[in-house]
Amino acid sequence: MRSISLESVRIASWNVNSINRRVELLVRWLEDAQPDVLCLQETKCRADDFPSMPLLAAGYESHALGLGAWNGVAILSRVGLANVTEGLTDAPQWEGVTEARALGATCGPLRIWSVYVPNGRTLEHPHYDYKLEWLDTLRRTAAAELTSEREWAVLGDFNIAPTDDDVYDRAAYEGSTHVSVPERDALSAIEKVGLTEVMPRPLKYDRPFTYWDYRQLAFPKNRGMRIDLALTTPSVRDAVTDAYVDRNARKGKGTSDHAPLVIDVDL
């Protein structure tokens, strides 16, 4: 088992695609990967239905934000979990509801946010405009929090492939969300407030995708996208000793369609 330190931490992010369907898989992954902090997205449950007890038995305190069968985020930590903030400041609403898409907490030496950016659906759909507005709200929230001296990171499912190299075939996404110029510009604007992306190293393949559709053998054919990202303050990025996508967590039956992004930081 990895020792727990407030200077050397392993942080991770995983769109688990329904926490209560995958809690046993999650606990096994926690035991194997030993992250100190894990950001979860798409938990798909109310906060009072979140399976905190088996996670506590595995050594992790947790805080969840969720409204029901859609969206939902959580943070798990074994290095402390304090100063929790539920939601972005002045977050936009979708159909009159402030969705459960952002959760911030102080975990050991880091201020960490878990975010689940709206999908956008199509370029013509109102959900796309909502996505861009939500991203701008994330930018403003990050800018406000970065005025403190605490090390800072935001991890999650951004539903944006930063470059054409982050999709298996750019032509397959022509005219769709996730690769459009306004989305990528919005991501760049978030970085410009004082953040930098942590790039995972390739393992089995040259391109470290994090998401593969369940259909048409997308995972074994590696027809994926890199849309689960980590943005940190430069000092955290400079302290990264390793970063990778755990493809093994995507293998087999009953898994999420995303794989965890894992980052080791030595502060």
Distances (CA, A) of 46 to 74, 94, 99, 105, 114: 11, 18, 12, 19, 16
Radius of gyration, CA atoms only, the chain: 17
Each residue's pLDDT, cut to its tens digit, for the chain (267 residues) gives 555 556 799 999 999 999 999 999 999 999 999 999 999 999 999 999 999 999 999 999 999 999 988 899 999 999 999 999 999 999 999 999 999 999 999 999 999 999 999 999 999 999 999 999 999 999 999 999 999 888 999 999 999 999 999 999 999 999 999 999 999 999 999 999 999 999 999 887 889 999 999 999 999 999 999 999 999 999 999 999 999 999 999 999 999 999 999 999 998
* Residue 258: burial class (beta carbons within 10 Å; 0-12, 13-18, 19+): buried
What pLDDT shows up at residue 5?
Answer: 58
Q: State which fold the 10-266 domain adopts.
A: Deoxyribonuclease I; Chain A (3.60.10)
The CA distance from 75 to 92, in Å, is 22
pLDDT at position 144, please?
96
> What pLDDT, on a 0 to 100 scale, did the predictor assign at position 69?
85
pLDDT at 204: 78
For residues 114 and 15, is the Cβ–Cβ distance under 8 A? Answer: no
Single-letter amino acid, residue 143:
A
Residue type, 127: H
Query: How far is residue 211 CA from its own chain's centroid?
Result: 12
Helix (H, G, I), strand (E, B) or coil at 55: helix
pTM value? 0.96
Amino acid at 17: N
